[in-house]
Amino acid sequence: MTTLRDRRDDPADPDERRRLSRRSFLGGGVAGLAAGALAGGLGGAAIAHARADEDAPADVSETAVPFYDQTHQGGIATPPQRYVVFASYDLTTTDAGDLQVLLARWSASIAQLQAGRNLGTVEPSRPSGVPTDTGEAADLGPNALTVTLGLGPGVFDDRFGLARHRPARFDHLPELPSDRLDPKLTGGDLSLQACAEDPQVAYHAIRDLSRLARGTAVVRWTVMGFGRASAGKGQTTPRNLMGFKDGTRNIKTDADLDQFVWHDGTDQAWMQGGTYQVARKIQMNIENWDADQIGDQHAVFGRTKQEGAPLSGTQEFDTPDFARKDASGELVIPATSHVALAAHENNGGLKILRRSYNFTDGMDEYGQINAGLLFIAYMNDPAAFVTMQTKLGRSDRLNEYISHVGSGVFAVPPAPATGHYVAEPLFG
Ligand SMILES: C=CC1=C(C)c2cc3[nH]c(cc4nc(cc5[nH]c(cc1n2)c(C)c5CCC(=O)O)C(CCC(=O)O)=C4C)c(C)c3C=C
Ligand SMILES: [Fe+2]
């Protein structure tokens, strides 16, 4: 499966930003209007933000990521934006037709939102009219918004008659070592991951898409995240709330995406070009971490804090030497450090694409900081996560400072062609 287009669409590159904006503007007309009509007869969408001027100064608020006619949905291999709002939904219907309509309305609406348009009218002309768009993103521009739509394992249970379409590798995640999952933060029939360079744009997308779901699905759990804690190709490595660079050895090449992330369609053709999404809400015991000595913090991750270098090297991108020993015969990168346990060299070559975000929920009832990592990862077999987390959950030195409290796994189909919708082949 080719991924060139996804990798090229890098809003960090000023030329690419202009190209994306221009392409969305030029390509958005007919398709956008058709999509707007499908999204519930919502006319009057304004193309206010995309620019046709190739020489206009780059502005990330003007960047639009195309939705239709891509090999893969956005928000997976497209460059991570600074903010996320993640939502999992429970279906409240048992009618496959209702699910079909929701997926069609969501798809058409996501296309509008990613182009920087409102979902219909913010200000109806008649005083008795109710706005179809809540309006808080009306002046903000597309801000590289991507909304990634996933289907939970429950979609393929006996409720909708879709069991024959369930991919063989796709099921609920098993209970894993060290899990402390809160049922209220776990599972879901559908997921939406809205990422954007402006938090209000991401929030607006989830708010208005949730409105559209009324009568068919309700929000089960959500996380608002900031400070992308993962690096895409060409991006500097951000830091997580423990102060460490996160994403240094993330998947960054098309070859790795093809091998580890994109589904090849074997056993279920509708998933070709799709992937699986694992979302984990991981709480950090921040006060304890902040009181820890720097030597132990280094040993927990197997990397230095300031530079982010493996303990066997000096520079961030040095290849870790997991066999290297110090003068007293101890491994320089401890065997129970986070990176030693997670590295592909020590897991039969296994890799996953991470797309995590920091989150905070303020303070808990004990006056402690309630914050952590919304860990999101993409892979072509959820068993990759299960294998890794089984190992990490058993032995990771990081476990003293974190708890997995929320969880979900979702099948993410490929992007639809213009005029079609995500997962449409399920209803053929
Ligand atoms: C099951 C998979 C993983 C979970 C869960 C996870 C949680 C988690 N990770 C950090 C911080 C860091 N992780 C780093 C590397 C890293 N982590 C995983 C997987 C999971 N992490 C992998 C596969 C890797 C790459 C290992 C390698 O090849 O070396 C790093 C180091 C920098 C980097 O390469 O990204 C940090 C830092 C936290 C804080 C966390 C849960 C809260
Ligand atoms: Fe990690």
Flag whether pLDDT at 106 surpasses 90. yes
Cα–Cα distance measured from residue 161 to residue 165, given in angstroms and rounded to the nearest whole number: 9
Are the C-beta atoms of 190 and 91 separated by less than 8 Å?
Answer: yes
Place of tokens 């796994």: 409
The whole-angstrom separation of Cα 321 and Cα 333 is 8
User: From ligand 2's centre to the CA of 230, what distance in Å?
Assistant: 10
pLDDT one-digit tens code per residue, 158-213: 999 999 999 999 999 999 999 999 999 999 999 999 999 999 999 999 999 999 99
**Ligand lying nearest the CA atom of residue 229:** 1
What residues contact 11, with CB distance under 8 A and at least 6 apart? 17, 20, 60, 63, 65, 79, 81, 144, 197
Q: Cβ(389) to ligand 1 under 6 A?
A: yes
CA of 402 to the centre of ligand 2 (A): 11
Nearest CA residue ID for atom 36, ligand 1: 246
Domain ranges of the chain: 67-426
Assess whether pLDDT exceeds 80 at residue 35: no
Atom of ligand 1 nearest to the CA of 373: 42
Q: Does the Cβ of 260 fall within 6 Å of ligand 1?
A: no
Give the Cα-Cα-Cα angle 224, 228, 229 (nearest 5 degrees).
110
CA of 338 to the centre of ligand 1 (A): 7
pLDDT recorded at residue 417: 98
Identify the three-state secondary structure at position 426: helix
CA 330, 332, 334, 338: dihedral to nearest 10 degrees? 180
> What is the rounded CA–CA span in Å between residue 72 and residue 51?
25
Q: How many Cβ atoms from other residues are within 10 Å of residue 109's Cβ?
A: 27
- Which of 336, 334, 337, 339 lies closest to 323 in space, CA to CA? 334
Element (H, E) at 385: helix 383-395
From 233, 249, 358, mutation site for ligand 1 pocket: most ligand atoms within 8 A of C-beta: 249
Phi-psi region of 5 (alpha: psi -120 to 50; beta: other; left: phi over 0): alpha
Show Cβ contacts of residue 223 under 8 Å, excluding neighbours closer than 6 positions.
Answer: 84, 85, 86, 279, 281, 357, 359, 374, 406
User: How much is the pLDDT for 325?
Assistant: 98
- Is the beta carbon of 242 within 6 A of some atom in ligand 1? yes
Q: Report residue 84 as tokens.
A: 């996320």
Q: Decide whether any atom of ligand 1 lies within 6 Å of the 247 Cβ.
A: yes
Could you tell me if the CB of 246 is within 6 A of ligand 1? Answer: yes
Rounded CA gap, 76 and 119, in Å?
24
Please give the backbone phi and psi of residue 353, each rounded to the nearest 5 degrees, phi first. Answer: -95, 115
The Cα–Cα gap between 381 and 351 comes to: 11
pLDDT tens sequence across 267-314:
999 999 999 999 999 999 999 999 999 999 999 999 999 999 999 999
Distance CA 84, CA 62 (A): 18
| Ligand 1 close to Cβ of residue 229 (< 6 A) | no
Using DSSP, state whether 96 is helix, strand or coil: helix
The pLDDT value given to residue 171: 97
The model's pTM: 0.89
* Residues 272, 245: Cα–Cα separation, whole Å: 33
Q: Tens of pLDDT along 361-397? A: 999 999 999 999 999 999 999 999 999 999 999 999 9
Site to substitute for ligand 1 among 248, 354, 360, 386, most atoms within 8 A of C-beta: 354
The residue whose CA is least distant from atom 40 of ligand 1 is 373
Rounded CA-CA distance 98/79 in Å is 33
CB of 401 closer than 6 angstroms to any ligand 1 atom: no
ipTM over 0.85 threshold: yes
Cβ of residue 375 lying under 6 Å from some atom of ligand 1:
yes
